[in-house]
């Protein structure tokens, strides 16, 4: 497997979606290619950082307008 093939398979590799034989071939390449290993590690970290991000609290004005609209809808339905 060459560097270009590794880059093409990065997504499936970090998601664990590669067939065993392809994964093993890719990992053999990573053992001797520091650059590809760096790209794989940094791409995985990129995904992890976004995946672990949490929403900040909803701004009060946005929340208040949402709940006003919701109460109107709930009242409409109950009338």
The site for another protein (CB under 8 A) is made up of 3-4, 7-8, 10-12, 14-16, 35, 38-39, 42-59, 61-63, 65-67, 69-70, 73-74, 77-78
Q: How far is the CB of 79 from another protein (least distance, A)?
A: 13
**Nearer residue to another protein within complex by CB, 31 or 76:** 76
- At its nearest, how many Å lie between another protein and the CB of residue 24? 20
Min dist CB 45 to another protein, Å, is 7
Residue 59 to residues 28, 63, 65, Cα–Cα distance (Å): 49, 6, 10
**CB within 8 A of 14, min separation 6: which ones?**
40, 43, 44, 47
Structure-block tokens of residue 2: 């060459």
Asked if 39 contacts 7 with a C-beta cutoff of 8 angstroms, the reply is: yes
């Amino acid at each position: 497997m060459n560097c270009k093939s590794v880059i093409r398979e990065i997504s499936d590799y970090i998601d664990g979606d590669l067939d065993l034989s392809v994964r093993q071939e890719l990992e053999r390449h990573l053992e001797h290619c520091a650059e590809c290993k760096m790209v794989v590690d940094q791409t995985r970290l990129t995904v992890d950082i976004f995946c672990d991000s949490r929403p900040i609290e909803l701004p009060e004005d946005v929340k208040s307008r949402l709940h006003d609209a919701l109460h109107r809808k709930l009242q409409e339905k109950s009338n």
